[in-house]
Structure formats: C-alpha cells, structure tokens
Amino acid sequence: MGSCARCLAVIACLLVPSVLRAQLPAVGVPRGVVRVDLDGSMEIWDHRWLDGERQPLAADLTSPALGSDLIPTLAAADALVGSITGVSGYRLNLGSLTADAQQEDTRGYLGLALGLTNRLTVFGRLTLVQVRTETHYALAPTPGADAGLNPGGVAQQTFFQQFDASLASLEARISGGDFDSNPSLKADAETALASGSALRDDLFGLLGDPSTASPFVPIATSAAGEAITARVTGLQTALSGDFGVSGFTATPGLPDALATSDQVVAQLSDFSGPVALDLGGSKLTFRGDAEAGLAFTLVDRWDRANHLGGFRAAVEGLVRFPTGRLARPDRVLGLGTGDGQTDIEARITADLGAGRWGLRAEGMYNRQLAADYILRVAPRTQPLAGIDLLSVVHRDPGDIVSLAMGPFFRLAPSFALQAHASYWSRGTDVVSYLTAEDEIPGVDAMVLAEDSKATAATLGLGITYSSLGRLRPGARGLPVDASWSYERVIRATGGIVPDRHAMRARLRFYFGLF
C-alpha cells in the first residue's frame, strides 16, 4: 500500500500545476495554443411543461374513450355508422387508452479551438448523438366501449355477394314489370331498392372497401352493432316477404370482442393503412449539428498579480449547420439528432469575482433561420393524424434568447463549486405551405406553430476545475479544464418544454502550437 501511495503522489505532483489559477474556464484561448474539447451530456425526461403545468410526456396519447378524438381517420367510420343506424353524433369507442413515454438525448462533442491572438480564437465542434424514445400503451375496456377489429374484406365476401345479387334481382323484377299491376307495391319496391343500395354502399365503405374500410367497427353485441344487423335483417325480411327476392340470409361480419392495445398499435403502424405511424420505441445514433465560430476577449483582468478574482468578458459568434438528422414524420414522439435549419448565434460571457467568491453571467441570442420540412400538418392534440395530412411546409422557428447567472465559490485554489440559474425564451414559429400545390384544403399550416412560444427557468449545480498550467508564465503542470454539472427545468410557461434532467461533463486539454 505504501509504494502505491507514493506512486500516486508522484503522478499527482507531475500533473498538478505549481501555480494554480482555478476558476471557470476562459472563453478564449491564448495565442498559439490549441484547445481540444471532449464534452458530453445526457438528458432524460418523461414529463413536459405545457401552459405552466407539468404533465406526462405522453399526455396527448391518452383518451378516456379512444376514437376519432385521437385517430381522425375514424371520423369517416363514425359518419357511416351514424348514417346506417340513424344515431346522430355517433363515435366509435375503443376504450380508455393510457400511454407512458420516456426520452433520452445523449451527446458527445469533439471540438478544437485555436488562439490566433491573445484576444481572438477560432473554434469548431462536431457532435455524435444518440436519441431514444420508449413508449408503452394500455387499452382498457370501459362502459360504453363498443369497437373491435374489423374482420376484413374476405370475411365480408359472402355477405356482399348475396346483398348485390338480391338488389340486382329486385331491380330486374321492377324493370320487368312484375309490380306494375300494383302501383303501391311497385313504389315500395323502388323505395326498398334505393334505401337498400344506400345501405349496401355505406356498409361496403365501412367494412369491405380496401380504400375506405375502417380498421375498427362496432362489435356485434354493442348497441350500434345490433342496430346495423337490424337494418340488414329488416331489409332481408322485406325482400323475401314483400318482393319475392330470396337467397339473402348472410349478415355483416362484425367483431365479437373489443380491440386490444396490441391490435390498435398494429393497425396504426400498418404502413399500407391510412395512418402509417410507428407507435413503438425508437433509437437513432447519428451525427448532430456541427458548429464553427469566433471568440473575442474584450477584457481580461482575471487573477492578476496573485490576487484571486477581477473581471473579464468575451463575446462569441457562431454558425450551427444542419448536419444532423431530422425526426422522422412517421414516428410518434420521434426525436432527431438535429434541428434541420441553420442557426446564427451570438453570446457574451462575463466573470466578476473577489477572493473565493465569483459570478459568471452569460447572455445568448439565437437566430434560427427558416427551412423546409416534410411534416404531418396537424396540431399537437392530434398525434395520430393520418398520412393524408403529410405535406411540405416552410417553417421559420422562433428565435431564442437566454440569460444565465452562475455564482461560484472556490473550495480550494484548484476547484470551484458553482450554482447555475438560467432563463430562456423562444418566440413563435411561422409556418406556411411551401407551394400552392402543397396546401391541404381546410388545414392551416400555422397549426404546426401552436405551443411553439415558450419560456423556461432552470437551476443547476456543479464543480469546475480550470488551469492554464505551464502555459501561464512562471507556472508548470498540465493545462486542463474539467467540469461536471446537473440541471433541470423548475418552471416553464407557454408551449411545450421537456422537463429534462440534464447531466453535463467537460474535459479540455491545451497544447502549445506556436
């Protein structure tokens, strides 16, 4: 044990600077010095903020009576069932849907900075990102639930063959004059033919037409299912009894059981269907948005003449390029590794301190430039919008302004404990269709801008180490910066803000180049 301790002590003496100037790291880099940045972050959240209220991340994927409220493509089925049964305002009810989701965003950064002069630094950074979404769904039967999985067109073939044959036979008898001797009976036959044809078309659109059939229909034992069957049997009785048309005895194929959560997820995830959304979890590893810029030190009177503290300030300007991958529009709650548009960002950083105490203040303005996207043009409250709402839009994201304050206390000459408080605000997006041909009738592209304006406040705590070591005149040791911090959102207003738990780590090495 003694020899191991001595070895560790020797290594520590070689690495630790003899003249320590520990504080928050400077923004710029001394002339002729290269800084290598190895940073990382992990953000995890399963809740979000909306209009100042904290709620589950999957709040928009819950419904006490799942139907066309969350699955707009079922509205056509609602109208057909209402027409068949005569029930005004009918809506399919699949039961109570609950959902749970968690998202993660893990990033690794590799950056380089070069001090062109003691005041001017050029820098760039590349990012590797892994994003992941986990989702779970549960569909529970509730009083009033009445919808199950459509048995499919094959199960309806016999029914529609008999239906079509009986209508053709009735039409032939009317055309052949079989009822001409009884005008009243002929009028009833013509009425039966018209209403039967309308019923047949409604049922085929609901149950059998490959382009319009609903994935979910009333179960046979529900009030709506019994009403549908009653309409058919009533017509069959009239055809065979009053009009002499026999052979129509089949009934429509309605499901026997309520739909399950697996069936709902499978139907909505069917890419040949009208919704074509992947409701399952997703994981994506890809590069993120790269950035490059300049930093200029305005004032540097920090830790001068063996006095801790002082004042320094620097400004930065950078461009963030859309090199990441966008979230796929066919994934519910999907994440991307980039934002898809170019950012122009300006920052100012100032440090003020005396002795062990100090304060870092930061301000940032991010101008997010417009870009074109392929998206489902639907509001947040319709996360299961159909593929018919997919279009190309031009989106100008709202700009972001942030202010941050970070008081710190030097626990020792080489370390500082730092608190962090920040406030940011994001403006409203402006969204329009890219061209007139991309417009969806009756749907305003600005629905995509709903809940885009938001503000948030965060709090954090961390520890930092920073020293230029042998790069400072009269000093020696390894030039290095290191930090670790934890942050989370404590309050948000306006639109959607993820309630993130964020951990960040930074390690920077300095090397003399010229």
Give the residue extent of every domain in the chain.
Answer: 2-142+268-512, 147-257
Q: What is the DSSP string of 310-375?
A: EEEEEEEEEEE---S-PPPTTBTT---SS-SS-EEEEEEEEEEEETTEEEEEEEEEEEE--EEEEE
Which residue spans within 141-276 are E strands per DSSP?
147-149, 216-218
pLDDT digits (tens, 9 = 90+) for 430-444: 999 999 999 999 999
pLDDT digits (tens, 9 = 90+) for 165-223: 999 999 999 999 999 999 999 999 999 999 999 999 999 999 999 999 999 999 999 99
Beta strands 497-498 and 309-320, pairing class: unpaired
Top CATH class, 2-142+268-512: mainly beta
Phi, psi (deg, nearest 5) at residue 85: -90, -20
Residue with tokens 């009243």: 184
- Determine the Cα–Cα distance for residues 87 and 222; give it in Å rounded to an integer: 13
- Determine the Cα–Cα distance for residues 431 and 126; give it in Å rounded to an integer: 29
User: In percent, how much of the chain has pLDDT > 90?
Assistant: 83
Per-residue confidence (pLDDT) for residue 469, from 0 to 100: 57
- Determine the Cα–Cα distance for residues 161 and 53; give it in Å rounded to an integer: 56
Per-residue confidence (pLDDT) for residue 184, from 0 to 100: 93
DSSP collapsed to 3 states, 454-489: EEEEEEEEEEEEEECHHHCCCCCCCCEEEEEEEEEE
pLDDT digits (tens, 9 = 90+) for 219-240: 999 999 999 999 999 999 999 9
- Determine the Cα–Cα distance for residues 488 and 504; give it in Å rounded to an integer: 11
The arrangement of strands across the sheet holding 497-498 comes to 53-56, 47-50, 497-498
Per-residue confidence (pLDDT) for residue 180, from 0 to 100: 92
Per-residue confidence (pLDDT) for residue 106, from 0 to 100: 98
Mean pLDDT of the chain: 91
* Confidence at 355, pLDDT banded by 50, 70, 90: confident
DSSP 501: E
- What letter represents residue 433's amino acid? Y
Cα pseudo-dihedral 259, 262, 263, 266, rounded to 10: 160
* Confidence at 14, pLDDT banded by 50, 70, 90: very low
pLDDT digits (tens, 9 = 90+) for 22-39: 456 788 888 999 999 999
Per-residue confidence (pLDDT) for residue 478, from 0 to 100: 61
**Residue 204 three-state SS:** helix
- Determine the Cα–Cα distance for residues 419 and 405; give it in Å rounded to an integer: 8
Can you give the pTM of this predicted structure?
A: 0.85
99 has a pLDDT exceeding 70 = yes
